[in-house]
Amino acid sequence: MMNKKHLIGEGFKHVFLMTLSLLCVFPFYWMIVGMTNSSADITMGKLTFGNKLAENVTNAFNYSNLWRAFGNSLLLAVIVTGIGLLICSIAGYAFVVFPSRGKEILFLALIASMMVPFAAKIIPMFRMFSKMGLLNNYLAIILPAMFQPLGVFLIRQQIQDFPQETLEAARLDGASEYRIYRSIVKPNLSSAIAAALILIFIDNWNIVDQAVIFLREPYQQPLSVYLCQILEEQPDIFYAASVFYAVPVLLIFLMGQDYLIQGISMSGVKA
């Protein structure tokens, strides 16, 4: 009797998980199917593959300003990720190594800032950047995005597990804090840095609200925003461009998924 109940429970669990998996995979299936159909077929909701793949891909690559928008997205994501990783690693090191009465409160405030939605910051950020003359400037997106609390958290947690005796021995040998960080600590943060890199890059590759609010000129828009214009004009090209848009994120995730899992798990060992 128990075995029968156990089998029934396992069966329901597998059905439930398979249903969730199908729901997660369906948007990717719809995107790939859409890039093989015409705009009329897409509008009618056709769910089977068509014969327009080559035509849609060619038209997407030749679409006006597509490559410029892709370059804008890549520029913003690479700059923010590079600067953000540098700030996160140094800040995480400072939170652990340098003694200060208020550093734990400051760290908690930093983590709490992740719970503030972007909608609550739109008006003050817009007014501030307007007074600074940074509207229609990529700095309006880059400056706020450089500070990544999640990246600081991941790196700080992993540094906490680093043997403090090693750092003390290096100081006794006359090594500066910069040399200790560069030569001893940083080489041992590869998993946390890789995890932060993936999360920061994906977050900034998918920006929409910031670009719509702070960038008014069409030639400045990243591909995440430009796709909306393509959808209104030609849905068949939109799906082909969407696949093209998803490729960099998928590549980075697939190449770094082991580091991502390791970095997050190691950062959660010690609170």
Cα separation, 230 vs 238, whole angstroms = 5
Place of tokens 């030749």: 62
Q: What is the structure's pLDDT at 2?
A: 53
pTM over cut 0.85:
no
pLDDT of 214-240, one tens digit each? 988 888 899 989 988 888 888 888 888
pLDDT at 263: 63
Calculate the average pLDDT of the chain.
84
Average pLDDT for 162-174:
82
Look at residues 159, 142, 166 and name the one whose alpha carbon lies nearest to residue 193.
Answer: 159
259 close to 191: Cβ distance less than 8 angstroms: yes
Are 263 and 150 a contacting pair, CB within 8 Å?
A: no
Burial class (CB within 10 angstroms; exposed 0-12, middle 13-18, buried 19+) of 53: middle
- CA triplet 221, 82, 66: central angle to 5 degrees? 25
Q: 126 CB contacts (<8 Å, ≥6 apart)?
A: 135, 213, 214
CA 170 to chain centre: 35
* Residues 214, 225 contacting (CB under 8 angstroms): no
Question: What type of residue sits at position 242?
Answer: S
